[in-house]
A and B are shown apart, each in its own frame.
Chain A
Amino acid sequence: MERGEGGNEQPRSGVEGAVRGAAVVFGVTSRVGRELALRFAERGHPVWVGARDQAEAERIAKDIAVRTRVVAISGGFDARAVETHAALVSSIEAAVGPIERMVIAFGDMGDDGRRDPQMLRRIVEVNYLGAASLAELVADQMAARGRGIIAALGSVAGDRGRQSNYAYGSAKGALALYLQGLRNRVFSKGVHVMTAKLGFIDTRMTWGLATKIPIASPEAASHAVLEAMEARRDDLYWPPFWRGVMGVIKAIPEAGFKRLSL
């Protein structure tokens, strides 16, 4: 792991004497993830940011350190390598201290609607298995200390299976269910778990998407997710109109829904 260097200036807060506990973002090469990490650092949390591309995570850590003068540490991880996750979480806490905020930003829509076994495995392993594994491990650490907030970037696609993206949607939906159970389990231990159900955000995932539906900026999404986390909301739809849209879509009886092309 490497330490971002914000010039010679004194860090405003750090591992020693930090006012706030650490915030970690898994999947920081997502623009939403990066913005969230920056938001946490702006609030004085030392941050740990991770991605498969460790050099890229390190550039992001440096950026956060220069902008906020807060300690920012980067590391590599793979969501699918669940057997490495326990050691990963320990090493993160050894580097930045007890985790107080955690965001799962990674996700994988798969390629071109492919649903062959390899692709299904990848989609399920990244969006569901990897996310559940990290959430579970971090939730235990938080529960032991009696505080912490966890959020995962889910998707409105997880609210109902549709022919256009049900492999990805079902994995996101499964994650939402998992987090619901986890929320229930750790609530009494002072830990909060939130699912952010995102609509269209202007990132790599939506680049070039031709749609009349409004696309939100990653920055606005990060503010919304952070506020909802701090308010200990159970879920968030962003942009907000998606709550209504999905309410309608979920209400359509299956007998009719299966005939639609959505």
Chain B
Amino acid sequence: MADWVKRDMEGWGRWPVISAEVARPETRADMVKAVGDSQGDGLLAYGLGRSYGDTALHSGHVVMTTRLDRFLAFDPATGWLKAEAGVSLEEVLRVFVPRGFFLPITPGTKFVTLGGALACDVHGKNHHVDGSFSNHVRSFELLTASGEVLEVRKETHPELWKATVGGLGLTGVVLSVELRLTPVAGPWIEMESVRVEDLDHFFAVSAESTGFTHTVGWIDCVTTGKAMGRGIFMRGRHAPQGIEAKKSLLGRVVDAADRLLDVPIDGPGWLLNQATVKAFNEVYFRKHPRGQKNSIVHYEPFFYPLDAVRHWNRIYGKRGFLQYQMVLPKTPDQRPLREILGAITRSGFGSFLAVIKEFGPTDNGWLSFPTPGVTLALDFPNHGAPLLELLERLDAITVEAGGRVYLGKDARVSRESFQRMYPEWEAWKAARDAVDPKGVFRSTMGERLGLVTPGGRS
């Protein structure tokens, strides 16, 4: 028997909160035992809890993976790293940036585990060039419901691969991942930012940014009319040898931020109201001069601006918040995107942070999120029913346009919408039922979306 402890678990959005029996195995043998213990009310792996909604939540047994965090092999000639699933991206960077390697793909926070990155098949600012996380993985070890450990490669287990990559932890516990790191000259990023005046301008700048591996935009989703979609477009690439920023000052700022910025307690409910969001968007836009700025920056502020504030999710207070991220196939006039921005502005639920990016071609898991098109991610304080109604409307526009919502950030999409967004879900389910016929691996999200059946037998 592993040691099970009753805990209230939440994702990064802090809504919903689900109570579970939680274990934190210290050895691989204990992880295998824990999976054996859980028969009956199901089990799910939990990494660093940076998914937003109920992706990593389950009302039965939950196993934390963070203590199984060993590096197992590294080949500096090729960059192939084999590491256990509980290793965080932060740890990979800490050990390997000084040795001239970087993550091939990174989401907007480094506080995620390799297992979580695979289970959500995460994408980064370089998606249009390098695809998503699984494109840089050649194998992983999967602890399945039967207690067996399989070494899964695309070639040897094509279906299990497509079911597990982006598969939200529902095929088993990933124990280790073989990931190819990218050689870099150092920690520096050559970055340019361009102020974009409206949506068309955004797409024009995005199109002319082919010389950059990393692109992302911030857009103001409070302002309507002609300036709808105004914002700041950021593009960058790993700096070649010899190019670096004046280290001292920047280094000190990053270090100071690291030590000082934390949100120790819940913010008051009024903190993020319509007025503050509007003011923030206005200031953020205005502080960037018209036109373009070039700079050399450390990878921390470039990739992880939010990580500088440790528990920033507490700013939203106890009620938590919801993130909504969807991808829409590109159309010449970007009608669906305009409809979505319009619906948000009209609702008055401005988003503090609205991030926009174009995805490139994809060939990943059946439930992997990225598809070619434009993706938009928004944070909303949990306003309850009126917000949920707005998000339903956004779902309808997204489904209509042939788009989908990111399940790694979801807490509320309906089963019907989900099935239209992810038409390959049935292939996913067949593969998952084959590897877990008794329905051992389960989650709140999986039950909500009909991926697994509550109470076992999927």
- Which residues in A have some Cβ–Cβ distance to B below 8 Å? 5-9, 29, 31, 53, 55-56, 59-60, 62-63, 66-67, 203-204, 207-208
> Contacts A67-B95, A204-B3, A207-B5 known; A7 to B74 CB distance under 8 Å?
yes
- Interface of chain B residues 92 through 107 with chain A (CB within 8 A): 95
Contact among B23, B29, B76, B84 with A53 in the assembled complex (CB-CB below 8 Å): B29
Q: Which residues on the B side are within 8 Å of A66 (C-beta)?
A: 71-74, 95
Sample 10 A-B pairs with CB under 8 A, ordered by A number. A8-B75, A55-B28, A56-B29, A62-B70, A63-B72, A66-B74, A66-B95, A67-B71, A204-B26, A207-B24
Contact among A55, A62, A204 with B71 in the assembled complex (CB-CB below 8 Å): A62
- Main SS at interface, chain B: mixed
- Contact between chains at B28 and A56 (CB < 8 Å): yes
- Interface of chain B residues 47 through 81 with chain A (CB within 8 A): 67, 70-77
Docked pose: A67 CA to B95 CA in angstroms: 7
- Contact between chains at A5 and B73 (CB < 8 Å): yes
Q: Determine if B27 is an interface residue (Cβ-Cβ < 8 Å).
A: yes
Docked pose: A172 CA to B30 CA in angstroms: 25
Docked pose: A116 CA to B217 CA in angstroms: 67
Docked pose: A207 CA to B67 CA in angstroms: 12
- Contact between chains at B29 and A59 (CB < 8 Å): no
**Chain B residue total in the interface (Cβ 8 A):** 21
Contact among A7, A29, A208 with B5 in the assembled complex (CB-CB below 8 Å): A208
Contact among B4, B23, B29, B75 with A7 in the assembled complex (CB-CB below 8 Å): B75
Interface string of B278-293 (1 = CB under 8 A from A): 0000000000000000
Q: Which residues on the A side are within 8 Å of B76 (C-beta)?
A: 7-9
Q: Which residues on the B side are within 8 Å of A56 (C-beta)?
A: 27-29
Q: Which residues on the B side are within 8 Å of A53 (C-beta)?
A: 27, 29
Docked pose: A55 CA to B26 CA in angstroms: 13
> Contacts A6-B74, A63-B70 known; A29 to B26 CB distance under 8 Å?
yes
Q: How far is the CB of A227 from chain B (nearest CB, A)?
A: 21
- Interface of chain B residues 1 through 47 with chain A (CB within 8 A): 3-5, 23-24, 26-30
- Nearest residue in B to A60 (C-beta to C-beta)? B70
> Contacts A8-B75, A9-B76, A67-B95 known; A203 to B26 CB distance under 8 Å?
yes
- Interface of chain B residues 296 through 353 with chain A (CB within 8 A): none
Q: Which residues on the A side are within 8 Å of B77 (C-beta)?
A: 7-8
Q: Which of A5, A31, A66 has most B Cβ within 10 Å?
A: A66
Contact among B3, B24, B71, B75 with A63 in the assembled complex (CB-CB below 8 Å): B71
Q: How far is the CB of B4 from chain A (nearest CB, A)?
A: 8
- Contact between chains at A208 and B71 (CB < 8 Å): no
Q: How far is the CB of A60 from chain B (nearest CB, A)?
A: 6
Docked pose: A7 CA to B24 CA in angstroms: 29
- Nearest residue in A to B27 (C-beta to C-beta)? A56
Q: Which residues on the A side are within 8 Å of B72 (C-beta)?
A: 59, 62-63, 66
Docked pose: A224 CA to B452 CA in angstroms: 47
Q: Which residues on the B side are within 8 Å of A203 (C-beta)?
A: 26
Q: Which residues on the B side are within 8 Å of A7 (C-beta)?
A: 73-77
- Contact between chains at A208 and B3 (CB < 8 Å): yes
Docked pose: A53 CA to B67 CA in angstroms: 16
Docked pose: A235 CA to B141 CA in angstroms: 43
Docked pose: A63 CA to B83 CA in angstroms: 8
Q: Which of A31, A203, A204 has most B Cβ within 10 Å?
A: A204
Q: How far is the CB of A113 from chain B (nearest CB, A)?
A: 15
Given contacts A7-B75, A66-B71, 10 further A-B contacts (CB under 8 A): A53-B29, A59-B72, A62-B70, A63-B72, A66-B95, A203-B26, A204-B26, A207-B23, A207-B24, A208-B5
Return the 7 tightest CB-CB contacts between A and B, nearest first.
A208-B5, A63-B70, A66-B71, A7-B74, A7-B75, A204-B26, A56-B27
- Contact between chains at B26 and A31 (CB < 8 Å): yes
- Nearest residue in A to B72 (C-beta to C-beta)? A62
